[in-house]
Each structure stands twice: as structure tokens, then as C-alpha cells.
Amino acid sequence: MELKFEEELLVIPGAESQLRLHRIADELSRRDIDAVLISDHANLFYVTGRIFCGWALVWADGSAEYFVRRPSTLHGDGLHRIRKVEELPGCLSHRPARLGLELDLISWSAAERIRAAFGEGVEIVNASAAMRAVRSVKTVMQIDLMAESGIKQTMVYNGIAKLYREGMSDIELQIEIERSLRLHGCLGKFPVSGPDMEIFMANVLTGENADVPSPYDFAMGGAGLHPSLPVGADGTIIKPHNPVMVDANGNFTAYMTDMTRCFCLGEPPAEAARLNTLSADICRAVSEAARPGTAAKDLYELALGMATDAGAADYFMGHRYHAGFVGHGVGIEINEGPVLAPRSRDIIQEGNTIALEPKFVVPGLGAVGVENTYAVTADGPRLLTLSPQNIVQFD
Amino acid sequence: MELKFEEELLVIPGAESQLRLHRIADELSRRDIDAVLISDHANLFYVTGRIFCGWALVWADGSAEYFVRRPSTLHGDGLHRIRKVEELPGCLSHRPARLGLELDLISWSAAERIRAAFGEGVEIVNASAAMRAVRSVKTVMQIDLMAESGIKQTMVYNGIAKLYREGMSDIELQIEIERSLRLHGCLGKFPVSGPDMEIFMANVLTGENADVPSPYDFAMGGAGLHPSLPVGADGTIIKPHNPVMVDANGNFTAYMTDMTRCFCLGEPPAEAARLNTLSADICRAVSEAARPGTAAKDLYELALGMATDAGAADYFMGHRYHAGFVGHGVGIEINEGPVLAPRSRDIIQEGNTIALEPKFVVPGLGAVGVENTYAVTADGPRLLTLSPQNIVQFD
């Protein structure tokens, strides 16, 4: 009777679901894990294409079962309706000997409750790294969705110069960018894995604020509006010839692109323009070098070497505080693998989608540099963030 | 030399800090816990008035030490600079016998890493409930900050009728409300404890979408724009005589108020107006009954009883799906204690700040009802959300 409110659990096509489940299964087999029980929202979304309140159990043979608490409107193959996790083991035809949980992501209490529900005889192991490895390599469908985000993000960025009004502060400009993003379909949510980063929609930096360190793991800092969210714009009035760096939410399809561009009221200073061009050059060189099989740490060294050769090492990835990476995977969340950092053990793979952000802080003036998102393909880098890379003057 | 970038760790005044630390200490003593090690952002913010990357250790004698990874600019009494949690125990003059952790909030891996760092001889216990109990009772300063949020949120709500333009969808209206909130100083971040809720800025509901269940623990649902964030506005065009419910972010001071009001294009239907008035009546009655010592579950029964007496039980807190509560504590996060629900064991205390949201879904038309935030005082309820409670017609 109320059938129109019923919905298939799986939002992604069956073949795409099978592909993703088999990627998880391969990773589980490699690590000798019999099944992984997923409840982290980003991982649930990867597996089903939706967020629900419950769990997905993916077996090492590539099959999956779904345990749904809410909403009650979902139906589909392999779906069990349960009220609490204690009911879950009883739904299974057999128990896994080694059960993977997202121990880096779910709370201690949630993990121990699952352990107790399965009881003795089921060994609990950490499957966080397995899921992170799976998600660092995107499918064609995922890259297409990121490309769609990149186009929409580009449209918004190409209109930013028109949003400036005389006398604006960094946050006033950011609010107009937020509105434009939302009107173009940005979902707003800026998903981050773990507790080390949080942000609202964008980081807009100008002037001395660009040099204020933040507690978070982002490339750039900024004091923020309030000590409860200490990152980004702090109300600084935008001054002539001070670059304004915009790093704003590219989540239009639940697959995010990550793009940074710089703007300026009037002509940017020569040093700012030089370092911005250097940043674009580093992006191009690193993206070309990011072939399957390359060590991610070598890409960091390439970027740092180019900055050093240009006499800009002191300003590279910050001035008062230097971020310890130059790029990161991106997709469902902003901080996926691989990580391009000095001690990274990640190896670049076809299907990685990488945000490169070689940025420079020019003390007293602001931050400059570009950030681009690339898909790693067999034929070289595919650029997903398409706005012009020069420092654009406000209209 | 770079002294202007140095900052005191404690943002809150010393006396306020002492008051909060002693409240934690009392709760620890009551539970026979020697110290609590805090890293959850909301709890860190409660203790220090800021977010940082690190830990606060609060002892049962009311003293505290701070262990800071980032930013390096912080200084102050009792501050230790460490790179990783393994260095923490070595900084202490003595070890706690029973150490409380936020086991409901931090990851299994983070908790076990702390357990290993302290080694044998230190018993790890769950201090999540202790911190939740402490934070459910606000200080005078916290209530003042909530009152300030309530005034700003009221100013925004009083301007919503002017934001409507002909032909707007729910999300287009929401985007203009978001902009107005931000221009009035809303911090954007909508803090939620735990993984069971997520939202971006607001829930704007109209038409049939008001009856679509969500996976989250909110009072109301809605399909949302995308299965990656399945709650709230879904692009429904606002129709004449269909109520539009607006439940939008009241976080202006890092202490949130929670307010809902309804709007309508033209005259609202009589049944919608009747149920909206009933909601306001329930708010008034429940807030008056919410005296220190009252059982929170009795307040839920009072609300349900009034809805039932008015013949509106089928629409109370949803129609297709009924939320199992009518009010909740609010402050740093949107889902604090006490909870006004049938099986709640919470007892109302002076200093609780409670959002009451007796809402009704009118099938096919939308949702109606008000939500108000009240502080519980010795003299009765103090209303913090001050907009007119009737269904307001768009200009």
C-alpha cells in the first residue's frame, strides 16, 4: 500500500556493486580475513551507494549481507531487518573465524559490543587498512562521478571573481562562494575520515591569517572564526595586492574533487605570481610522474626538490608551520589514500584519484598555489579540476 | 620574536575553567575514577574553550594537564608538548589506578593505544557517561552563550518570510536561509555526538517529503538531496497552503540553540494551524513541568498525552515513522542529555538546556510544529528561542 516509499537498498548498479564487493574480497583474502563488518558511513556508501543505519557484512567470496536498523523502507536481496547488533550473528548461516572490523573508525564500545555478540571462537581483527586500500583505487564509475563534481566545481570557481564586492572580508567572500556552490548542487557535507580534520565548506585565506597554524591535518591553516573551529577565514578584510586562496567544497556527487585557486584585488605581487606559477609547474610535473608503480614518497621529494631549486623551500606547505605532505587521495572523503609524504609507503596505482596541493605561504601577504585533482590512468594523468591556474583578479 | 602568534591554551576564564573541572572531578569521584583522558572535540572544547590536537587529563581532585600535539603556538600552565600519546604517561608525576577514557566516542584503536601506553597496573574504564552527565548541566556562562545564539537565531528566523521567491524549492529556500545564518555569524559547524546523526546546516521540509523516513536519529526525516546525506529537503517545489518546516543551525557561539518554525505560501490549512498551535501548547506545558527533579520520561508522557487528547497521536513525531522522543539536551552538540523519551532514566536538573520539539506530520501536506530551547532554572523555564510561534506566511 505504501509501496512508493519502499526503496531498493542498493543504489549503485548490480555490476558496479559486484565489482566493489570483489575488490573488498580480494583484499580480505590477501589478509586472511573471512569477512568484514562495515558500519562507517563512507564505507557503507562505497558498498551500497547509500547511508543507512546498520551494517554491511562482506565475505571473502565477494558475497554480502545487509543488516538494517533504519529506515524500515529499504528492501533487497540479502537484507536482514534487525533492531540491534546482538541479533546479527543469529542471521548468519555460518560464522567467520576471523572477522574484520573498522577498528580505526568505530568506537571502542561499538567494537566490543560486536565482539561480545559474536562470542568466543570468532577472532576480531582490524580491517581498516584493507578498506582504505580498496577505496584508494577508484572504479570507472567513481572517476566519472568525480569528473562530474570537477566540472561543477570548475563552473563555480570560474564565477568567483564576480562575487567580490568592495570592502569584503575573507568570510564574506566565502559565504557568497558557499551559496554559489550550493546553488550549483554542492551537497554541503565535507566528509573527512577520523577526528583529525574538520572544516565547514571552504578554507579562504588572505593576509597574515594564512600563516596561523591550525590543529588540523590540512595543508593550510588560518585562525578561523572561533576556537571551536580553528581553521580558515578569520574576518580579515581583503586588501589590494594580497592574494586570496580559495579551497572550497567539491562534493557534488558524493565523490569530491579538491581544487584550490587564488584571486587578487588588483595586480598580485611578482613574488606571489612567481610562486603560484611554480605551484602549477609542480602539479604538472608530479602528476606526470605519478605513474602506476611510482612510490608516493618519491613524488613528495620531487615537489620539495622543485620548491627548493626555486629558492622557495621556506614557504613550501606553510611558513611558520609546514604541512608534511603535498598530496592525498580523495573521493568519498577528503583524506583517502595514497598520501604523498616523506615516509609514505603507498605506491601509486591506476585508479588512484589524487589531489596535489603544492602551496606556499608568503609571510604577511597570504598563501598562493593551486590544487588539482587527477585520476591516475594507464595513459597518464587525467585532470578533473579545470579552472585557469593563474591568480585571477577580482572583477 | 613570533610572540604574537603565541596563544594561551585556555580560552575560557580561569574561574569558569575551575568550575567545569570541579564538576568533572565530582562526577569522577562519584564513579571512583582517578582521572579522565579527553580527546573528543566537544569535551576538549568544554574543558578549555578551544579545539586542539591532543589530550586533556582531568584528575579527580579538579586539577588538569594538557598534552598538545598541534598547534605549537599554544602555551599555558600544565601544558606538555608531545608528539604522540606514548609520551604522555612519562609526563605524569604519578599514574592513575583507574583511568577513564571516552570509550563510546574514540576509536577502538585509539583506546587500545592509550591502554598500551599506560601499561599494566592502570585499569581503563569508560568515562563517556560521566562526561555526558557533566555536560548536560550548563554553567551560567554557557547558558549566556546559548542565549546569545538564541537571539541571533531569532533574528535570522524573523527574516525568513522575506527570503521566499516565487517558484522556490525547499532547497533553494534553505540555501538563502544558510546564507542569512552565516551573515549573522553562524559558525556553520553543526556538531553531533556519535555516528547516528549528520546534517548540513538545516532541515527544511514540505509536502510528502516530510513523511519520508531517514536513517538518522532526528525527530523528522526527509529524503535529502542525495543518498549520501538522506535527510531534509529533496528539491520539492513549495506549494500554496503546504506548510514549510524550518529547523536550522543555531550555532553562533559554539553553544547552539535549536529552534523550529513553520512558514506557508498563503493561508495554512486549518488542520496544520491547529496542530502547530497544539505543538506550541505542548512546548509551554512541558517546559513548565520540566522542574528540577522531574523524570524526563514523565515529560515525554505529558507531551504524548496532550497529542492523544487532541486526536493527533497518529501524526505525533512523524506519521509513517515515529521518532521515539520529544526533546533533548543541547549545547556544544545537538544531542546532549537529558533525553525526553519513554524509557529515559534522566532526571531534570537546574542548568539543563532542553530543546522541545513536539512535531506533527500531516500526510501529503508537510510537517508542522515548533521547537524551542529552554534553560531549566530554579524559577522555571527560560525561553531562549524567541520567534513568533504561529505559522508565518511568506511575504
Residues B121 and B170 in one domain: no
pLDDT value at residue B298: 98
Interatomic CA distance for residues B199 and B188, integer angstroms: 11
* Average of per-residue pLDDT across A38-44: 98
- Residue B208's identity, in one-letter code, is E
- Each residue's pLDDT tens digit, A227-251: 999 999 999 999 999 999 999 999 9
Could you give the percent of chain A with pLDDT greater than 90?
A: 97
Cα dist from B44 to A111, A234, B10, B53, B58, whole Å: 23, 21, 11, 9, 11
Do B70 and A214 lie within an 8 Å CB cutoff? Answer: yes
What is the count of structural domains for chain A? 2
CA max distance for chain B: 71
Residues B272 and B388 in one domain: yes
8 Å CB contact between A353 and A381: no
Q: Is B287 strand, coil or helix?
A: helix
Q: Is B300 strand, coil or helix?
A: helix
What is the CATH classification number for the domain harbouring B74?
Answer: 3.40.350.10
Strands A353-356 and A327-329: antiparallel
Mutate to test the interface with A, among B45, B51, B75, B102 (most CBs of A within 10 A): B51
Q: Which among A183, A221, A225 has CB closest to B175?
A: A183
Partners of residue A180 in chain B, C-beta under 8 Å: none
Strands A74-75 and A7-8: parallel
Q: Which among B101, B179, B229 has CB closest to A175?
A: B179
8 Å CB contact between B303 and B326: yes
Nearest CA in chain A to B70: A215
- Each residue's pLDDT tens digit, A264-290: 999 999 999 999 999 999 999 999 999
Residues B184 and B110 in one domain: no
pLDDT in tens, chain B (395 residues): 344 568 999 999 999 999 999 999 999 999 999 999 999 999 999 999 999 999 999 999 999 999 999 999 999 999 999 999 999 999 999 999 999 999 999 999 999 999 999 999 999 999 999 999 999 999 999 999 999 999 999 999 999 999 999 999 999 999 999 999 999 999 999 999 999 999 999 999 999 999 999 999 999 999 999 999 999 999 999 999 999 999 999 999 999 999 999 999 999 999 999 999 999 999 999 999 999 999 999 999 999 999 999 999 999 999 999 999 999 999 999 999 999 999 999 999 999 999 999 999 998 899 999 999 999 999 999 999 999 999 999 99
How would you label A218-253 residue by residue, b for 16+ Cβ within 10 Å and e otherwise? bbbbbbbbbbbbbbbbbebebeeebbbbbbbbbbbb
- Each residue's pLDDT tens digit, A45-87: 999 999 999 999 999 999 999 999 999 999 999 999 999 999 9
Other residues' Cβ atoms within 10 Å of the Cβ of residue B77: 11
Enclosing domain of residue A80: 3-135
Do A107 and B106 lie within an 8 Å CB cutoff? Answer: yes
Strands A372-377 and A380-383: antiparallel
C-alpha cell at B91: 609526563
Residues B130 and B147 in one domain: no
Short-list A117, A182, A95, A186, CA closest to A149 = A186
- Residue A261's identity, in one-letter code, is R
Q: Chain B closest CA to A112's CA: distance in Å?
A: 8
pLDDT value at residue B2: 45
Residues B314 and B197 in one domain: yes
- Each residue's pLDDT tens digit, A295-333: 999 999 999 999 999 999 999 999 999 999 999 999 999
Residues A101 and A146 in one domain: no
Interatomic CA distance for residues B134 and B353, integer angstroms: 13
Partners of residue B225 in chain A, C-beta under 8 Å: 185, 187
Do B189 and A230 lie within an 8 Å CB cutoff? Answer: no
Chain A with chain B: Cβ pairs closer than 8 A: 180
Do B39 and A195 lie within an 8 Å CB cutoff? Answer: yes
Those residues with Cβ within 8 angstroms of residue A89's Cβ, 6 or more apart along the chain or in another chain: A95, A117, A118, A119
8 Å CB contact between B7 and B73: yes
B45, exposed or middle or buried, with CB in 10 Å at 0-12, 13-18, 19+? buried
Interatomic CA distance for residues B347 and B298, integer angstroms: 10
Residues B250 and B305 in one domain: yes
pLDDT value at residue B6: 83
Last residue of a domain, one of B134, B163, B178: B134
C-alpha cell at B322: 515515529
Partners of residue B248 in chain A, C-beta under 8 Å: none
Do A229 and B189 lie within an 8 Å CB cutoff? Answer: yes
Residues B239 and B266 in one domain: yes
Residues A143 and A119 in one domain: no
Last residue of a domain, one of A135, A170, A194: A135
Interatomic CA distance for residues A394 and B16, integer angstroms: 45
Interatomic CA distance for residues B211 and B172, integer angstroms: 20
Q: Chain A closest CA to B361's CA: distance in Å?
A: 15
pLDDT value at residue B85: 98
Do B51 and A228 lie within an 8 Å CB cutoff? Answer: yes
Do A51 and B221 lie within an 8 Å CB cutoff? Answer: no
Do A112 and B108 lie within an 8 Å CB cutoff? Answer: yes
Look over chain A and give the mean of its residue pLDDT values, rounded to a whole number.
97
Residues A83 and A161 in one domain: no
As a three-state string, the secondary structure of chain A is CCHHHCEECCCCCHHHHHHHHHHHHHHHHHCCCCEEEECCHHHHHHHHCCCCEEEEEEECCCCEEEEEEECCCEECCCEEECCCHHHCHHHCCCCCCEEEECCCCCEHHHHHHHHHHHCCCCEEEECHHHHHHHHHCCCHHHHHHHHHHHHHHHHHHHCHHHHCCCCCEHHHHHHHHHHHHHHCCCCCCCCCCCCCCCCCCEEEEEHHHHHCCCCCCCCCCCCCCCCCCCCCCCCCECCCCCCEEEEEEECCCCCCEEEEEEEECCCCCHHHHHHHHHHHHHHHHHHHHCCCCCEHHHHHHHHHHHHHHCCCHHHECCCCCCCCCCEEECCCCCCEEEEECCCCCCECCCCCEEEECCCEEECCCEEECCEEEEEEECCEEEECCCCCCCCEECC
Report whether pLDDT(A5) > 70: no
pLDDT value at residue A1: 37
Q: Which among A201, A230, A321 has CB closest to B50?
A: A230
- Each residue's pLDDT tens digit, A190-222: 999 999 999 999 999 999 999 999 999 999 999
Nearest CA in chain B to A114: B108
Last residue of a domain, one of B97, B117, B134: B134
pLDDT value at residue A364: 86
Q: Which among A51, A112, A183 has CB closest to B228?
A: A51
Residues A106 and A149 in one domain: no
What is the CATH classification number for the domain harbouring A338?
Answer: 3.90.230.10
pLDDT value at residue A2: 44
Q: Chain B closest CA to A380's CA: distance in Å?
A: 30
A42 phi and psi angles, rounded to 5 deg? -65, -40
Do A228 and B108 lie within an 8 Å CB cutoff? Answer: no
User: What band does A386 get if pLDDT is binned at 50, 70 and 90?
Assistant: very high
Strand partners, B340: B327
Residues A121 and A172 in one domain: no
Q: Chain B closest CA to A227's CA: distance in Å?
A: 5
Q: Chain A closest CA to B289's CA: distance in Å?
A: 32
User: What band does A6 get if pLDDT is binned at 50, 70 and 90?
Assistant: confident
Those residues with Cβ within 8 angstroms of residue B200's Cβ, 6 or more apart along the chain or in another chain: A187, A188, A189, B190, B229, B232
Q: Chain-centre distance of CA A112, in angstroms?
A: 29
Do A72 and B213 lie within an 8 Å CB cutoff? Answer: yes
Mutate to test the interface with B, among A4, A39, A51 (most CBs of B within 10 A): A51
What is the sign, positive or negative, of the torsion defined by CA atoms of B154, B155, B156, B159? positive
pLDDT value at residue B206: 98
The DSSP symbol for B241 reads T
